[in-house]
Structure 1
Amino acid sequence: MLKSIESVQNEKVKEWKKLLQKKGRDTFNQYIVEGFHLVEEASKNPSLITSIIVRQDVTVPEWVPSSADVFEVSNEIAKAISDTETNQGIFAICKKQEHLIPKQANSFLLLDAIQDPGNLGTIIRTADAAGADVIILGEGTVDPYNPKVIRSAQGSHFHIPLIKGNLFEWVERLKETGVTVYGTALEGAEAYHTVEPKLPFALILGNEGNGVNPNLLEQSSQNLYVPIYGKSESLNVTIAGGILLYHFMNKAHS
């Protein structure tokens, strides 16, 4: 049944607006997704969705889960709950997922204080495309449910487990179970292409400005770098991460 809301002062609308901020997402344990592509991706797992919101001039798509509450809202409300300048007029309120490590997981991506939402979203999307099994989000990493992260990831949130954790504990845990842990560094490291990929593996990517915490690098099995042949001082973390992930994941698919 379609429910209509006209006022931005409605309590539901106030709650939805709070989901644009981390505090609100943490309070309600929910996040907001907008745009046809992302809402459709979320709809493939109906248990995640609590509500679908459509602007008055937008037709409710056939793929909307029957279990979700559907709200028709004014253009003013759509603007108020959107994180984009020009919204597509469709939104989903999703429950945060409780992710578990797949039993057969053999490829782990560990993220140390990735702060830019666009970078994190692109890394999640790249890891999904490369076929990585798990992403571990370390302390200082931007909230994965930030709207800009969600847009950059283009639906990969719904495909790959995202787990927050202490990276020092995770590195030790992985090494104890036979996982080779590769850090990334500019100094004291081996060129990535000289290293024969091994499964299972874990790869640590670091902060945009400071790189991986030096103490984490001391814990790793081996540290790698991506050679630069031109005049640039460094690669964006998303590009370096993509190169390294595909280098290792090629092993998994060969």
Structure 2
Amino acid sequence: MPLLPIISPSNPRIKQLRALSRRKERDATGLCVAEGIFHVGEALAAAAANRAAVEALFYAPDRLISDFGRGLVRQASATGIPTFETAADVLATVAEKDNPQGILAVVRPRRYALADLTSAAQPWLAAVVAPQDPGNVGAILRTLDAVGASGLLLLDGGVDAYHPGAVRASMGTVFRLPVVATDFAAFIAWARAGGYRVYGTSARGQTAYRATEYTMPLVLLLGSEREGLSVEQAAQCDALIRLPMHGRASSLNLAVAAGVMLYAIHDDLAARGLLPLPPL
């Protein structure tokens, strides 16, 4: 017998969706929300590759007008994922975006620990100390995917990668790449044991980012948005690299700086035959 549409914002399933906007609930349940046609599609693709599980899908027929979006609902239903028709105004109480597209998924991403990462399988990662902006975390994940890097380490707290803003900014990459949350001391011990070379970013760096010859396995280490790397953290790096600043600005946005450096690393590795050249 088909389930009746959800028409009340006090429905228990809708309450759970709203609760997942809080980190405490995400940590307790291991769940997060993917919102919008593209992000739900990426979550379903990750589930098909056993990198995540889609626990439920909610859709508002009045809002979900594209054939692709409706196809996602059929795909989810055909694979046994519970799908819930929901009134548009009710789904809007959960949506983070203005003008929501009428589809949300509850996702259980695969959770990783440092012990799951190896230099053979993950030869090139980025790490960020205590990031505070979920948009930066998501954008860095998206750039890591774009350059063919292997994953992201979040050190010493800060925002989690499954914050709605981080999921949205990652454009679904958060469901494909490994993300590990750990502390700085454990990260350094793991990097040393795995033979990773740690390239720290700092205005005090002695070498410009394009003048550096990068060696894999490696980790690009970025400091917090406000403080950068501490003296103690910088001392743990194998090399400190810097972005030249030619104008009055003293720094770049964290995600922008990460993007510039990640592409420089890619180009250096590719030029020396350590990575395939990207297609034109």
Is the structural similarity TM-score above 0.5?
A: yes
2:59: which partner in 1?
A: 54
> What whole-Å deviation, never above 9, does each CA across 1:125-159 have from its counterpart, x for those lacking one?
11111111121111232111111111111111122
TM norm structure 1: 0.93
Cα pair 1:111 1:141 within 8 Å, conserved: no
- Aligned pair partner of 1:172 in 169, 180, 189: 189
Root-mean-square deviation over aligned CA pairs: 1.8
Q: Which runs of 5+ in 1 are unaligned?
A: none
Matched residue of 1:212: which SS?
coil
Q: Within 5 Å, give how 1:82-97 maps onto structure 2.
A: 82-97=95-110
1:73: which partner in 2?
A: 86
* Letter paired with 1:62: G
Q: Distance in 1 between matches of 2:275 and 2:2?
A: 46
Matched residue of 1:157: which SS?
helix
2:40: which partner in 1?
A: 39
Cα pair 1:2 1:69 within 8 Å, conserved: no
Cα pair 2:43 2:172 within 8 Å, conserved: yes
* Letter paired with 2:275: H
**What count of residue pairs does the alignment treat as equivalent?**
254
Matched residue of 1:204: which SS?
strand
User: How far apart are 1:181 and its partner, in Å?
Assistant: 0.6
Q: Which runs of 5+ in 2 are unaligned?
A: none
1:143: which partner in 2?
A: 160
User: How far apart are 1:186 and its partner, in Å?
Assistant: 0.8
Cα pair 1:20 1:83 within 8 Å, conserved: no
1:27: which partner in 2?
A: 28
TM norm structure 2: 0.85
User: How far apart are 1:2 and its partner, in Å?
Assistant: 5.2
Q: List structure 1 runs of 4+ shifted beyond 4 angstroms.
A: none
Cα pair 1:118 1:148 within 8 Å, conserved: yes
Identity among equivalent pairs (%): 28
Cα pair 2:109 2:175 within 8 Å, conserved: no
- Determine if the alignment matches structure 1 residue 10 to structure 2 residue 11: yes
